[in-house]
Amino acid sequence: MNMDVRIPHDLDPETKADTISREKAYSHQLQQAGEWVHIWRNAGQYSNLSIFDVKDNERLHEILWNLPLFPYMAIDVTPLAVHPSDVALLEN
C-alpha cells in the first residue's frame, strides 16, 4: 500500500511533533508484532510504500484507522497474493 502524508502547514508545531512521535511508536509496535512487514520511503516525497501481513481486511482497517497520522493521509491499498511462479515457493 502507498501512504501519502499531507500534514497541514498551519498545524500547531507541538501537535505535529506529538502526532509524528505517536505514529513512529505505533508503527514500531506493528513491525515488531510482524503485521507491518516492510516500510520503504518513496524518495523525494513524504510518503511510504508498506507491506502488511494481517489476518483479514478488518484487521487492516483497524490498523489504518488507528494510525495517528491517518487524518492527514491518502492511502492506496493494493491487496497482494502469492504468485505461483515465485521461485521462493519452489524452495519450500
C-alpha dist (Å) from residue 49 to 12, 13, 76, 92: 27, 26, 10, 27
Domain of 27?
2-90
Average pLDDT in the 4-27 region? 98
Total domains in the chain come to 1
Q: What is the pLDDT of residues 24-34, one digit of tens each?
A: 999 999 999 99
* Alpha-carbon gap, residue 19 to 25, rounded angstroms: 10
What CATH number is associated with residue 36? Answer: 3.30.70.1060
* Alpha-carbon gap, residue 58 to 46, rounded angstroms: 26
pTM here is: 0.87
Residues 60-90 as b or e (16 or more Cβ within 10 Å = b): beebeeebbbeebbeeeeeeeeeeeeeeeee
